[in-house]
């Protein structure tokens, strides 16, 4: 008996200034460069990294894990590059915890190189990604994103995309040595009508 259908998005998404690419182990060196140069920048906002994270092997394993999740439809992680520098990784956008059935929802996470903030690049990337996740063949009903209350940049990115704050999740994630509250935001697919497919 066949298993449930897997509805996969394209492996590459292009915008006017960016290329979003699905994980490939060949990206290991560029990914390590990205996380290393942004280590201090991301630390206040992200959970602790596992041992070996800042190594080629650690990033290769991360890419392989992301690749496996992509092909079975559990999560869709894209790495961002500028169109005029297609090899250099400058960010990521991650749709994860994809849940079908009565939910048809997923979580959204994202990061952008510290040097490129303030140019609207993350808005551009997420606008294209949301459109992809809400259209066929993925066709999600809802995307949810969380941010620390003091992360006003992230809040502004989500608000500009149409996300609406739904409430405060207490002790949501362990970050910087303590359990931290997060603002929960959601965006609904306006084209998702009727009951989800079974």
Question: Looking at residue 32, which CATH number applies to its domain?
Answer: 3.40.630.30
Is 72 part of a structural domain of the chain? yes
Within the chain, which residues score under 70 in pLDDT? Answer: 1-5, 198
Is 3 part of a structural domain of the chain? no
Give the count of domains, the chain. 1
Is 85 part of a structural domain of the chain? yes
Is 87 part of a structural domain of the chain? yes
pLDDT of residue 5: 57
Is 176 part of a structural domain of the chain? no
Is 188 part of a structural domain of the chain? no
pLDDT of residue 1: 35
Answer for the pair 133, 95: CB distance below 8 angstroms, yes or no.
Answer: yes
* Residues listed for the chain: 198
Two tokens, residue 184 = 């929960």
d(CA 119, CA 19): 16
Is 68 part of a structural domain of the chain? yes
pLDDT of residue 34: 97
Q: Name the β-bridge partners of 21.
A: 12, 79
d(CA 60, CA 76): 17
d(CA 139, CA 157): 22
pLDDT of residue 197: 79
Domain enclosing residue 27, as ranges: 12-140
Is 160 part of a structural domain of the chain? no
């Amino acid at each position: 008996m066949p298993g449930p259908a897997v509805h996969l998005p394209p492996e590459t998404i292009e915008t006017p200034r960016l290329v979003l690419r699905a994980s490939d182990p060949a990206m290991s060196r560029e990914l390590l460069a990205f996380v290393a140069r942004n280590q201090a920048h991301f630390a206040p906002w992200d959970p602790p990294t596992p041992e070996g994270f800042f190594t080629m092997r650690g990033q290769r394993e991360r890419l392989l894990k992301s690749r496996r999740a992509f092909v079975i439809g559990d999560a869709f992680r894209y790495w961002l590059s500028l169109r005029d520098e297609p090899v250099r990784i400058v960010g990521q956008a991650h749709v994860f915890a994809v849940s079908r059935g009565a939910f048809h929802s997923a979580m959204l996470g994202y990061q952008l190189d510290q040097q490129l903030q303030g140019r609207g690049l993350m808005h551009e990337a997420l606008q294209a990604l949301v459109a992809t996740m809400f259209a066929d063949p993925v066709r999600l009903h809802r995307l949810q994103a969380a941010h620390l209350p003091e992360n006003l940049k992230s809040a502004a990115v989500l608000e500009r995309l149409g996300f609406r704050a739904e409430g405060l999740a207490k002790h949501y994630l362990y970050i910087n040595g303590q359990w931290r509250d997060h603002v929960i935001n959601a965006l609904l697919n306006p084209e998702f009508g009727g009951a989800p497919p079974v």
